[in-house]
Amino acid sequence: MSKMNLLQAINNALDIALSSNEKALCFGEDVGHFGGVFRATSHLQEKYGKHRCFNTPLTEQGIVGFANGLAAQGMTAIAEIQFADYIFPAFDQIVNETAKFRYRSGNEFNVGGITIRTPYGGGINGGHYHSQSPEAYFTHTPGLKVVVPRNPEQAKGLLLAAIRDPNPVIFFEPKRIYRASVGEVPDEDYQLPLGKAEVVREGTDITLVAWGAQMEAIEKAADLAEKDGISCELIDLRTLLPWDRDTLAESVKKTGRLIINHEAPKTSGFGAEIAAAIQEACFLHLESPILRVTGLDTPFPLALEKEYLPDHLKTYEAIITSINY
Amino acid sequence: MTDKRETAALIVHEPAFYDATSLQIPTLRILREDGTLYPGASLPEINQTLALKIYDTFLFIRALDERLLASQRQGRISFYMTETGEEAADIGSTAALADDDMIMAQYREQGALAFRGFTPDQFMNQLFSNEKDLGKGRQMPIHYGSSELHYMTVSSTLGTQLPHATGYAFALKAQQKPNCVLCFFGEGAASEGDFHAALNMAGVFKVPVIFFCRNNGYAISTPAHEQYAGDGIAPRGVGYGLKTIRVDGNDVFAVLKATQEARKLAVEHHQPVLIEAMTYRLGAHSSSDDPSGYRNKSEEDTWRAKCPVMRLKNWLIHQHWWDEEQDSQRKQFHRDAIVAAMKKAEKLPAPPLNDLFTDVYDALPWHLKEQQAELVSHLRKYPDAYPKSAGRLGDE
């Protein structure tokens, strides 16, 4: 075990991915010698050479298109998009190409070797284009897997699983807690299962679900609620596509109440999918309406970032509303 | 110093602006329309076997396109696209490759696939979306693909295959394989952002790729002069640091020779290449298009006279490797083979219901299993409404 922050855990996972598979390549804008604008790829070029970890020209559609070609040939392509806000130029390559490669060819070809890593989320004074949480654009796309870790230990295990999964994965990294989230991380090579949620804290009165940096908000909200004698069950979804409906439904059948928290805007956010699926699966068990505590249906603001974010207080209020329903 | 910009470039003291006239890229032409060579021109590497194989593929594609366009008109298939007039471009360039070089096509390059050995049955199975289609009936007609023949499955999205070609070529170089990628696209697709991304990255990474532009004058109804203002596509290659050549796309020897040399540059020197083949789309854009709405017949006739098939045929006759009687026999042979394959393919059922759900991922996740089970019980309840699949559910 070593103490690492979330970035160090990602760097460690990439190091293991490159050392354990000579077909694995890391690339993107500024990931080479410089080691990435967040330093996620620090020292990898030094260790593995320019042919394994390298800069690309500044073109997101090029980066993902290039990754598709690499993976179609059988390489393990670990691409970085500098900010999730800038993944949209590559949207066509991801949605029309990456996601449909295996299906449209009848499995004659596939790009399962792709992982796209990208820092996402607000809380860093990032304004419109350094704060977005675009996961729901991708959970609407059959053929992709979408993964979000919440802490260093999770980040390493999930990233290694994403890189080795035989399907394309978009790996969203919560940049607000890149350095703030510190924890013990096993030194060895390990993987955490994709498609499996984790019950982080057991409770009996209400279920709270979130992913990534928002796990902090629901944990704090649960602590506040506990002082009122409310027992919250906390679930980290970890994988958004395909998501673990059964673990969540099991929890809601027990507690009878559900609050979904995500940073992305409310309308058509992934929370809507969860709410619809859980009311379908748990209709007779629900004691109150499923509530969503989310970002607002506005572009991500700069000055009023704190007001925008679905923090622990907003979550706590939702808990009280749900319990008193 | 890692900044490699040229700071010692030529200096002037009055403004001087440059345009296409500063860089005039000529067109390589070897074979005349009467089947003789231009004075001073020399043949590509070619022997009788290869020449006859290229020509036979021309005849096959002409027969295929003619028959299948008619079938679409009769409503037997939903969609079709011919490559009439452009056969020398895709077949001539493919003839310069090793069999295991990867081809990435746009959609008007069925000749390349035929040259590689895709059979009439395989063409028909894809066109009729039956259970033997390698693509499992999921894509529209003409979206062919074959891993065995190193022909990447076609997708409708224009230009997306260009950065794939760069990435695939990077992987070939990384594994020290003596191969290249040949990537086809039209002059319209060259306006997409992916063209820029792909050529720029290929230039920077120095990968074994040949970008092959079929400049046929039209992107559906849009003439080339509404597509770009520069001197075609070729000068852009120079701008990205690629070796660049323009060829007469109706001259199979010019295409073959340029691609043979391009392949050497790509494979032996990791030097990416851009080839612009000047040709003309003699047919409609697709079975859903009528070109009489945007261009005139006399223009088409001018290009019909420059027919690539006729040019090669004339040359073969000069060599005494071919004659008119062989020609008509072989044309009939292909027509018969295509009709026979079509009759067979039409009778095969659609792919089984299972093929609707597989290959989204390597394995079915829970939500797809659930949706499949729901659909199966629905089909059992209303079998008459779903004749393609309902009768076969018991087999699964």
- A61 CB within 8 Å of a chain B CB: yes
d(CA B371, CA B384) in angstroms, rounded, equals 20
How many whole angstroms separate alpha carbon B41 and alpha carbon B28? 9
Residue B396 reports pLDDT greater than 50: no
**A216 has catalytic annotation:** no
Q: Do B155 and A96 touch (CB under 8 A)?
A: yes
**Span B74-128, pLDDT tens digits:** 999 999 999 999 999 999 999 999 999 999 999 999 999 999 999 999 999 999 9
For B362-383, what is the mean pLDDT? 97
- Active-site hit among A29, A80, A97, A130: A130
In the predicted model, residues of chain A with pLDDT beneath 70 are none
Q: Answer whether B163 sits within 8 Å of A25, measured CB to CB.
A: no
Provide the chain A residues 159-178 that lie in CB contact (below 8 A) with chain B.
166-167
Q: Averaged over B62-72, what is the pLDDT? A: 96
Q: What's the mean per-residue pLDDT of chain B? A: 96
Q: Pairing mode, if any, of strands A198-201 and A232-236?
A: antiparallel
ipTM above 0.90, yes or no: yes
pTM of the model: 0.97
Residue numbers in A near B171 (CB within 8 A): 69-70, 73-75
Cβ distance of B163 and A93 shorter than 8 Å? yes
The answer to whether residues A53 and A103 touch, using CB atoms and an 8 Å cutoff, is: no
Query: Closest approach of chain A CAs to the CA of B136, in angstroms?
Result: 5
A276 Cα to chain B: minimum distance (Å): 14
Pick the catalytic residue: A29, A60, A97, A216?
A60
Interface A:B, Cβ pairs < 8 A: 146
Hey, of B142, B154, B164, which one would you mutate to test binding to chain A, going by the most A CBs within 10 A of its CB? B164
Whether residue B249 contacts residue B86, with contact meaning beta carbons closer than 8 Å, is answered with: yes
Q: Do B157 and A65 touch (CB under 8 A)?
A: no
Q: What is the pLDDT of residue B10?
A: 87
User: A322 exposed, middle or buried (CB, 10 Å; 0-12, 13-18, 19+)?
Assistant: buried
3 state DSSP class of B321: coil
Q: What is the pLDDT of residue B395?
A: 52
Tell me which residue in A72, A103, A108 faces B360 most closely, judged by beta carbons. Answer: A103
Task: Decide: residue A286, CB within 10 A, 0-12 exposed, 13-18 middle, 19+ buried.
Answer: middle
Give the up-direction half-sphere exposure of residue B258: CA atoms within 13 A in the CB hemisphere.
34
User: Across-strand partners of A233?
Assistant: A207
Nearest to A234 by CA among A193, A275, A273, A206: A206
pLDDT, position B393: 86
Tell me what percent of the residues of chain A surpass a pLDDT of 70: 100
Q: Does A195 touch chain B (CB under 8 A)?
A: yes
Side-chain-side CA neighbours of residue A276 (13 Å): 7
Tell me: the pLDDT tens digits for A180-200? Answer: 999 999 999 999 999 999 999
Known catalytic residue at A153? no
Question: How many beta carbons lie within 10 A of that of residue B153, not counting itself?
Answer: 27
A96 reaches B (C-beta below 8 A)? yes
CA dihedral B370, B375, B378, B384 (to 10 degrees): -170
**Residue B36 phi, psi (nearest 5):** -105, 165
Under 8 Å between Cβ of A248 and A274: yes
Q: Is A193 on the interface with B (CB under 8 A)?
A: no
Q: Which of B102, B145, B367 sits opposite A105 (nearest CB)?
A: B145
Mean pLDDT score, B43-53:
98
Tell whether the torsion through CA atoms of A39, A41, A47 and A50 is positive or negative. negative
User: Is B372 buried (19+), middle (13-18) or exposed (0-12) by CB count in 10 A?
Assistant: middle
Residues B185 and B195 sit within 8 Å (Cβ to Cβ): yes
CA distance B360 to chain A (A): 5
Give the per-residue pLDDT at B1: 52
Q: Does A29 touch chain B (CB under 8 A)?
A: no
Query: Look-up: residue for tokens 């990898």?
Result: A44
Does pLDDT of B391 surpass 90? no
Classify residue A196 as exposed, middle or buried by CB count within 10 Å of its CB (0-12, 13-18, 19+). Answer: middle
Strand partners, A24: A76
Q: A93–B194: do the CB atoms touch at under 8 Å?
A: yes
Selecting from A56, A73, A142 the residue whose C-beta is nearest the C-beta of B201 gives A56
Cis? peptide before B387, omega within 30° of 0: no
- The answer to whether A239 contacts chain B (CB < 8 Å) is no
DSSP code at position B139 = S
pLDDT in tens, B178-232: 999 999 999 999 999 999 999 999 999 999 999 999 999 999 999 999 999 999 9
Which of A18, A25, A108 would you mutate first to test chain B, the one with the most B CBs within 10 A? A108
Reduce the secondary structure of chain A to three states and give it as a string: CEEEEHHHHHHHHHHHHHHHCCCEEEEECCCCCCCCCCCCCCCHHHHHCCCCEEECCCCHHHHHHHHHHHHHHCCEEEEECCCHHHCHHHHHHHHHHHCCHHHHCCCCCCCCCEEEEEEECCCCCCHHHCCCCCHHHHHCCCCCEEECCCCHHHHHHHHHHHHHCCCCEEEEEEHHHCCCCEEEECCCCCCCCCCCCEEEECCCCEEEEECCCHHHHHHHHHHHHHHCCCCEEEEECCEEECCCHHHHHHHHHHHCCEEEEEEEECCCCHHHHHHHHHHHHHHHHCCCCCEEEEECCCCCCCCCHHHHCCCHHHHHHHHHHHHCC
DSSP one-letter string for B86-103: -HHHHHHHHTTS-TTSEE
CA distance between the termini of chain B = 65
Give the best residue of A26, A100, A104, A146 to mutate against chain B (max B CB count within 10 A). A104
Q: Which of B16-25, B56-65, B112-121, B341-350 has the lowest mean pLDDT?
A: B16-25
